[in-house]
Amino acid sequence: MTRLRPPAAIAILLALIAALALVSLAAGKVWAPFSAWTDHADPRWPIIFDLRLPRTVLGVLVGAALGLSGAAMQGYTRNPLADPGALGVSSLAALGAVLTLYLGAGAQAPWVIAAAAMAGALAAVLLLMALAGNASSIVTFLLAGVVLQTMAGAGVALALSLAPNPWAVNEIVNWLMGSLADRSVDEVKLAAPLVIGGCALMLLTGRALDALTLGEAGARSLGVDMTRTRWFLAIGVALAAGASVAVTGVIGFVGLIVPHLLRPIVGARPGALLIPSALGGAVLVLAADIAVRLTPAAGEVKLGVAMAALGGPFFFGLLMCMRRRIA
């Protein structure tokens, strides 16, 4: 595969995001031609700017947050399988948000959902990084992720079984499947500052992630403050992934797929992979969201379901490739 310099890859990814954003504004059960974008009297104008524009912006934000989180976690742990979805970070964030939905607190104050989701994500990241700090193996790391997902799944199942009414159950189930549908400017205003802040913290760890390829001792000898790096990464992933889960539900595998697709193109240096992974995540989520809108069905396929259908085989293939290399 042709290797590109990071600036060239970034330029191509930005062009793809711009193209997909335009398609996202036009695509759906009702197609909106360009003439409808400038005519306020056109009945499709509210569809474009009240429904599809917030959905497109959220797709970019959530994709960037998840793609960057996956690349940063893989760089920190030196583990190719690290990802907020695969290792339980998104699951614990979802558990925090589900508890607010169960208690009814989220309906009164939407920021409570985001706060609970970020608290769950932060707890998960700290647990995982505590294991990674002890040079844990890939198997141990995966088992830790399975444990976190199991705990979160049990908590969600308990909330569903004890839900006070069928409407609460339906709200929780629909939210867990992950979707960008019917999101408004309010969700954008809630998620944008948190995602941008979290991504900024993760980008500040680029030099440290490069140094960590020499191991923690080597990184410290180069002047890297490991404590600060650990906290920047933990808070950054918690803000970005937690805010994403809070507004869209659980959308998995983005952080696992994107860095692996981009590594052969931009190289394996963790710091150089961060920005391309953020942009690649935005490309993947936008493309997947357009695809689920165009499925020939009465209802729209949930984005989280579509990403799981795509990510499951990818994860399995990745494990098989690693097994062959080890053998």
How many domains are contained in the chain? 1
The per-residue pLDDT for 76 is 85
| Residues sharing a CB contact under 8 Å with residue 190, sequence separation 6 or more, in sequence order | 110, 111, 114, 243, 246, 247
35 inside domain:
no
Amino acid found at 62 = V
Residue 107: which CATH number? Answer: 1.10.3470.10
Percent of the chain scoring above 70 in pLDDT: 92
Closest to 259 (Cα-Cα) out of 79, 135, 133: 79
The per-residue pLDDT for 204 is 95
Residue 65: pLDDT over 90: yes
Tens-place pLDDT, residues 139-148:
666 677 778 8
301 inside domain:
yes
9 inside domain:
no
Q: Residue with structure tokens 């549908």?
A: 181
Task: State the residue range of the domain holding 316.
Answer: 76-326
Q: Residue with structure tokens 């080597």?
A: 218
The per-residue pLDDT for 53 is 93
188 inside domain:
yes
Cβ neighbours, 10 Å, residue 300: 18
- pLDDT band of 82, cuts 50, 70, 90: confident
254 inside domain:
yes
CA-based radius of gyration for the chain: 20
The per-residue pLDDT for 62 is 95
Write the DSSP assignment of 188-240 as a string of letters: HHHHHHHHHHHHHHHHTTHHHHHHGGG-HHHHHHTT--HHHHHHHHHHHHHHH
Closest to 271 (Cα-Cα) out of 216, 203, 325: 203
- Token pair listed for 296: 């020939």
- Report d(CA 234, CA 257) in Å as an integer: 21
- pLDDT band of 12, cuts 50, 70, 90: very high
Q: Would the CA dihedral through 318, 70, 289, 252 be positive or negative? A: positive
How much is the pTM?
Answer: 0.89
27 inside domain:
no
The per-residue pLDDT for 106 is 62
4 inside domain:
no
DSSP-assigned letter for residue 299: S
| Residues sharing a CB contact under 8 Å with residue 200, sequence separation 6 or more, in sequence order | 236
DSSP-assigned letter for residue 47: I
Per the CB < 8 A criterion, the answer to whether 300 and 62 are in contact is: no
Q: Residue with structure tokens 């989220």?
A: 106
236 inside domain:
yes
